Structure 1
Amino acid sequence: MGNKVELRTKAEPVTAFKTVDGKKRKAEVLLNVEDLSLSFTQYTSGLRQTELKVISNLSIQAYRGEILAVVGSSGSGKSLLAHSILGILPSNAKLSGKIEYDGEELTQERKEALRGKEIALIPQATTYLDPLMKISDQVIGCVEKKDKGLMRKLLREIFQRYNLKSEVEGMLPHELSGGMIRRVLVSTAVIRSSKLIIADEPTPGLDEKTLNETLSYLKDMADRGCAVILITHDIEAALKVSHKIAVFYAGTVLEVANVEDFKNNGENLRHPYTRALWNALPQNNFQVIKGHQPMQDEVFDGCIFYERCSKKKALCSQGIPELRQVNGGVVRCNNVS
């Protein structure tokens, strides 16, 4: 242990392709996040100021017409990435790195202009709803008087798809069950012509039928050309609809893998942590690894997965591995070739 070493992530994004009318075409990057770091200013005893780093040099790309699933345990930085993109971080946050949307820098001013319009959030917490406002008004939002009739018609169609009865429109949030509220939150993104959808844990509390329906609507949005970021703990749910899986750990990306790589015992997966997540599923031998994800204030000179890795070498304790392309994916590991 010693002074903290910054992650170096200079790998170029992996080219994505889509098959359209039987032809393979290059997919377009809608959101590019490069070398993103996030810390919070905190005060300790004696009014001493410290910096708590929660994200370190994180890089991902979201493509038009695709679903990128972001998976990882609690505290890995998944939701903070969403808040960074949306510009809803607290005042003590310090953000560095580059975020580009549709080829242009996504400044705080631009985030505020696009938030709730071109960039939509399906939040994790049900408390995002206003407890004193009717559900219909919250889903429709602020629109011109001449458009309200059309929006209400569209609202009824969407609610019908999600098995929400017409009386839900006039209810308040406390009158709805947890599952109903989550379906309402999904509806707020569906009703707008958003280009980038960030779904932050949209499926907990949903029964199997509603979960599959929710995932199908995310897929529909991607099929219409939207870029969808699905933040979830549920790898199995993500694999049903996603094109790529970004694996987060201790505030950074360890691997971005294609969905096709998740099969058998995970031999096509590049990082030991990704394989461990895959093999920990009940149908995959339910294997677990010792240890826990590092806390944000822990300091590392080497790989952040070093203490838990079964394939670590002396090199792994001497500098944090770079993020690089390997076999059609992206990985941060010294032991992959």
Structure 2
Amino acid sequence: MRGGRHVAAVSDVSFDLAAGECLALIGESGCGKSVLASALLGLLPANAQAAGSAVVDGIELLGADERTLARTVRGRRVGLVPQSPAAHLTPVRTVGSQLAETVRQLTGVRGRHARDAAEAAAERAAFPADHLDRHPHELSGGLAQRAATALALIGDAPLLLADEPTTGLDRELVDRTADELRRHADDGRALLLITHDLAAAERTADRVAVMYAGRIVEIADADDFFRGPGPRHPYARGLLNALPEREFTPIPGLPPELGDLPDGCAFAPRCDRADDACATLPRLADSVACHHAQEAQRVRTA
């Protein structure tokens, strides 16, 4: 709720995610990606509510109470690499002690073995061992991000939500983080990668879901999306074409306010293919929500 009225930050989102698979969720800031992750873990603010169904490892997340989420879900069945890592690190404890405590809570391992497991998690996340005795305020943004990633990897949860896990990292560390997350999936776990970094998504994902104005507008195989026929939705094509290594052409205009969405296609005011048909809200059909998807497909393959 905002300003005394209800605002739908995420609407009609539906997807499945198999063990051993990475789904990259991409889209501009404010489209609802992080809200979706927060809803799955019961971390929405008090004035927000989630409706629908989300089942992970046999547990219904959206209907679970706080006790179930805290003791059974978070860290154990669903791990989180948060978008704002500093807010998830305890300021008065060193990174090493927080990692060791997480090991004890999630695995039951104690003593020196817990410290060894903490160091192993830090290494997986490329967090330097000589910084384990530092407090969060002594870390750069990139180091805090790597510390949060290490914490998320400890439980080897069946589902890992990685919300902008490469923020503040240089290209080499982005690639290393993406590869570690990919290994997490290759070991038989599911990974939902929320990211603005399309290079990281291309390196990591099996499938790509594109979100715009709170809705998923396309779901595609990653190879087709990045290297094959390409996206079918005009917004998804615009995201790729904005990359420097491609056309370096920005999408015109700005995303709409979620509290003031048009009745039809939310992307229509920015789309060069918009016509009268776009006054009706397109539904996700054949993995794309666009009235002109088939027309665009024919143009690209002609």
- Does TM, normalized by the shorter one, top 0.5? yes
- Quote how far apart the aligned CAs of 1:52 are: 2.0
Structure with the bigger percentage of helix: 2
- Quote how far apart the aligned CAs of 1:103 are: 4.4
Please list the CA deviations of residues 238-291 of structure 1 after superposition, one character each: whole Å capped at 9, or x if unmatched. Answer: 101111111111111011111112346x74321011111111111111122321
Residue 71 (str. 1) matches residue 30 (str. 2): no
Could you list the runs of 4 or more consecutive aligned residues of structure 1 that deviate by over 4 angstroms after TM superposition? Answer: none
Equivalent runs, 1:290-305 vs 2, <5 Å: 290-305=252-267
Do the aligned residues in 2 keep the contact of 1:85 with 1:111 (CA within 8 Å)?
no
- Quote how far apart the aligned CAs of 1:205 are: 1.4
1:229 pairs, out of 192, 195, 198, with 192
Residue 323 (str. 1) matches residue 299 (str. 2): no
2:91 match? 131
Equivalent runs, 1:147-186 vs 2, <5 Å: 147-186=110-149
Among all aligned residue pairs of Structure 1 and Structure 2, give the percentage whose two residues are the same amino acid.
36
Do the aligned residues in 1 keep the contact of 2:282 with 2:290 (CA within 8 Å)?
yes
* Distance (whole Å) between structure 2 residues aligned to residue 227 and residue 89 of structure 1: 22
- Quote how far apart the aligned CAs of 1:335 are: 1.4
Please list the CA deviations of residues 215-240 of structure 1 after superposition, one character each: whole Å capped at 9, or x if unmatched. Answer: 11101100111100111101111101
1:215 match? 178
* Shift in CA distance, 279/151, structure 1 to aligned 2, threshold 3 Å: same
* Distance (whole Å) between structure 2 residues aligned to residue 222 and residue 255 of structure 1: 22
Q: For structure 1, list consecutive stretches of 5 or more residues without a partner in the other structure.
A: 1-40, 44-48
* Distance (whole Å) between structure 2 residues aligned to residue 42 and residue 156 of structure 1: 43
1:285 pairs, out of 238, 244, 247, with 247
Please list the CA deviations of residues 164-186 of structure 1 after superposition, one character each: whole Å capped at 9, or x if unmatched. Answer: 44332221111112221111111
1:270 match? 232
Do the aligned residues in 1 keep the contact of 2:100 with 2:117 (CA within 8 Å)?
no
- Quote how far apart the aligned CAs of 1:117 are: 1.4
Q: For structure 2, list consecutive stretches of 5 or more residues without a partner in the other structure.
A: 295-302
Residue type at the aligned position of 1:335: H
Q: Given the two structures, how large is their TM-score scaled by the length of structure 2?
A: 0.88
* Distance (whole Å) between structure 2 residues aligned to residue 125 and residue 56 of structure 1: 24
Do the aligned residues in 1 keep the contact of 2:56 with 2:77 (CA within 8 Å)?
no
Question: Aligned pair count?
Answer: 286
* Distance (whole Å) between structure 2 residues aligned to residue 90 and residue 108 of structure 1: 16
* Distance (whole Å) between structure 2 residues aligned to residue 122 and residue 331 of structure 1: 28
1:206 pairs, out of 169, 189, 194, with 169
Residue 332 (str. 1) matches residue 295 (str. 2): no
**Helix, strand or coil at the partner of 1:58:** coil
- Quote how far apart the aligned CAs of 1:92 are: 0.9
- Quote how far apart the aligned CAs of 1:157 are: 2.5
**RMSD across aligned C-alpha pairs, in angstroms?**
1.9
1:26 match? none
